[in-house]
Amino acid sequence: AQSVTQLGSHVSVSEGALVLLRCNYSSSVPPYLFWYVQYPNQGLQLLLKYTTGATLVKGINGFEAEFKKSETSFHLTKPSAHMSDAAEYFCAVSDPDTGRRALTFGSGTRLQVQP
């Protein structure tokens, strides 16, 4: 069964600093990978996804993530944090081989941005 591990339930950065949120997956085949963001009392919004092709994926709000098969990782980065980036971030995986449609989510990382 596939699974997702997000290292660090809370990450705090200063405004303007680099954001790095870690995600490692466990899957028997290269999966499809997603990052979602959740603001308080709202649903999840897609930031970016990796399916096939280029391993560096750019998303909305200046975020990007790199798929590294050798490390089974899909870490999310942003060069310069903004106060509006404060939210909870979830990494998710789906299995392209089984045809199972549901996503498996990690437990999330709460990002705090200090002024």
- Out of 9, 28, 55, 80, the residue judged to bind another protein by CB under 8 A: 9
- Out of 16, 61, 100, 114, the residue judged to bind another protein by CB under 8 A: 100
For another protein, what does the binding mask look like between residues 12 and 41, x meaning CB under 8 A? --------------------x-x-x----x
Query: Binding to another protein by residue 82, rule CB under 8 A?
Result: no
Q: What is the dihedral of CA 75, 79, 83, 85, to 10 degrees?
A: -30
> What Cα–Cα distance (Å) separates residue 80 from each residue in 17, 57, 64, 88, 93?
5, 17, 12, 17, 26
- Out of 19, 95, 111, 113, the residue judged to bind another protein by CB under 8 A: 95
Measured from the CB atom, the residue of 29 and 115 that comes closer to another protein is 29
Q: What residues form DSSP beta bridges with 20?
A: 77
What distance in Å separates the CA atoms of residue 31 and residue 12, rounded to the nearest whole number?
Answer: 29
